[in-house]
Amino acid sequence: MSNKVAFMQGNEACAHGAIYAGCRFFAGYPITPSTEVAEVMASELPKVGGSFIQMEDEIAAMAAVIGASLTGVKALTATSGPGFSLKQENIGYACITEVPCVIINVMRGGPSTGMPTGPSQSDVMQAKWGTHGDHPAICLVPASVQELFTETVRAFNLAEKFRTPVTVMPDEIVGHMRERVVFPEPGELEVVNRTAPSVPPGEYRPYDTRFGDVPPLAAFGSGYRFHVTGLNKAEDGFPTTRADFVQAEEERQVRKIENAIDEIVTWEEYLLEDAEIAIVAFGSTARSARYAVNEARKNGIKAGLFRIITYWPFPEKQIAALASQVKAIITPEMNLGMTLHEVRRCVDGKAPVSGIFRVDGEPIGPGQILARIREVA
């Protein structure tokens, strides 16, 4: 373990995590409450031979990230809710073209301009359904400054391994809080790089399924010429309207994630072994929930916490199993019930599920959660 320790903000740790993962390109546009990610990348990327560019808007920032990634560079952008909305068309383009990249969305209140400086957890559905059409989605929701560092590294690993955009979505509290961070030594955390083609340039096809559901990806400028389009395409990358090709292509893109769910999905369990009441939470709200669980235990109530770390794919199997061992589930979240609906879908009536919702720009405190625990105990 490294002896390098720092006291820093979550957004700052996110930027350092990206550089640790090998990110060498950042394109973005300033927006509260994510701007510190861009500020640190602007300062630190040139020191490692990377490039920073402030684009004219969020749409262009996402386009630049896609272009940089196609040259073989690990690329990052950072934004908040309104900017994430603007990026959606190009995120869809990255999905269908299978271009690895990482998007940081530090969640604030909405819709529209909403509450720029207040916390929220209301973009989690947008991470999966924001762009149109069927496509894979990976979304990570860290709960601490240290975890924001490590989950940013993991986001790049997942993007590179599965040729897909990956979203990291801390809420504003996690993005702006300051905590102790221990910097891992180089090599201490796994760093994954995309699979390069093993065939001669003349034989390369960018969507060649002979190599599995995640085809190797060449870099523009490395001697490989290939076509990239937002249209449905054949294995050579050129557009096609053949029904069997289109069906197979879209099914493969979703399947490459669905078949790796056990590898991708992560979570934390706290005092769930004998729990009768389970709290399902994520981000900063999970921190309040952990404290509430401890207080409930002091009062003789067997409560426990299931903390979501990978929001998409949703931890369906784990939530379903949880429902068979507890008598009630509570989902506190800074939105109006997005996680509640997912948990109820997974539970399928095997346990009652109730929510605690807050969208007024204030966090959900331990006392609010503890009061609900007492109600359902």
Q: How far apart are CA 203 and CA 236, in angstroms?
A: 10
163 and 222 together in one domain: no
Residue 230 neighbours by CB distance under 10 Å: 14
276 and 242 together in one domain: no
Tell me the pLDDT band of 2, cut-offs 50, 70 and 90. low
- Give the domain CATH number at 300: 3.40.50.920
Amino acid 93: pLDDT: 98
In a domain? residue 157: yes
Alpha helices in the chain (DSSP H): 10-20, 35-44, 58-70, 81-97, 124-129, 145-162, 172-176, 243-258, 261-264, 283-298, 316-323, 338-347, 366-376
233 and 274 together in one domain: no
What pairs with residue 8 in β-bridges? 179
Domain boundary among 262, 283, 307: 262
165 and 56 together in one domain: yes
151 and 216 together in one domain: no
Domain boundary among 214, 241, 262: 262
In a domain? residue 187: no
Amino acid 3: pLDDT: 73
Q: Tens digits of per-residue pLDDT, 16-35?
A: 999 999 999 999 999 999 99
CB 121 within 8 A of CB 92: no
Phi-psi region of 112 (alpha: psi -120 to 50; beta: other; left: phi over 0): left
273 and 258 together in one domain: no
Domain boundary among 262, 282, 311: 262
272 and 359 together in one domain: yes
Total domain count, the chain = 3
φ, ψ (nearest 5 deg) of residue 268 = -130, 135
Residue 353, both tokens: 């599920």
Does the pLDDT of residue 334 top 70, yes or no?
Answer: yes
In a domain? residue 63: yes
Q: How far apart are CA 27 and CA 104, in angstroms?
A: 12
Amino acid 315: pLDDT: 98
- Give the domain CATH number at 59: 3.40.50.970
Amino acid 32: pLDDT: 97
42 and 167 together in one domain: yes
Query: Where does residue 108 rank: exposed (0-12), middle (13-18), buried (19+ CB within 10 A)?
Result: buried
In the chain the beta strands, taken as DSSP E runs, fall at: 5-9, 23-28, 51-54, 74-79, 101-105, 139-140, 165-168, 178-182, 267-270, 277-281, 303-308, 310-312, 328-333, 353-357
Q: How far apart are CA 117 and CA 361, in angstroms?
A: 8
17 and 105 together in one domain: yes
**In the chain, pLDDT over 90 holds for what percent of residues?**
99
47 and 173 together in one domain: yes
Residue 306, both tokens: 């299931």
In a domain? residue 188: no
Alpha carbon distances (Å) from 200 to 79, 192, 204, 216: 39, 23, 6, 12
Q: How far apart are CA 234 and CA 39, in angstroms?
A: 40
Q: Tens digits of per-residue pLDDT, 254-304?
A: 999 999 999 999 999 999 999 999 999 999 999 999 999 999 999 999 999
φ, ψ (nearest 5 deg) of residue 81 = -45, -55
CB 363 within 8 A of CB 284: yes
CB 109 within 8 A of CB 361: yes
Does the pLDDT of residue 12 top 60, yes or no?
Answer: yes
Q: Tens digits of per-residue pLDDT, 105-142?
A: 999 999 999 999 999 999 999 999 999 999 999 999 99
Strand 23-28 relative to strand 51-54, pairing: parallel
Q: How far apart are CA 23 and CA 12, in angstroms?
A: 14
DSSP state letter for 364? P
Domain that holds residue 304: 268-376
Does the pLDDT of residue 4 top 80, yes or no?
Answer: yes
In a domain? residue 339: yes
In a domain? residue 71: yes
In a domain? residue 190: no
Q: Tens digits of per-residue pLDDT, 55-113?
A: 999 999 999 999 999 999 999 999 999 999 999 999 999 999 999 999 999 999 999 99
Helix (H) or strand (E) run with residue 63 in it: helix 58-70
Lateral strand order in the sheet of 353-357 = 267-270, 303-308, 277-281, 328-333, 353-357
83 and 18 together in one domain: yes
In a domain? residue 195: no
Helix (H) or strand (E) run with residue 350 in it: none
Average pLDDT over residues 157-178: 98
Cis peptide bond N-terminal to 111, omega within 30: yes
CB 14 within 8 A of CB 8: no
54 and 160 together in one domain: yes
What pairs with residue 233 in β-bridges? 239
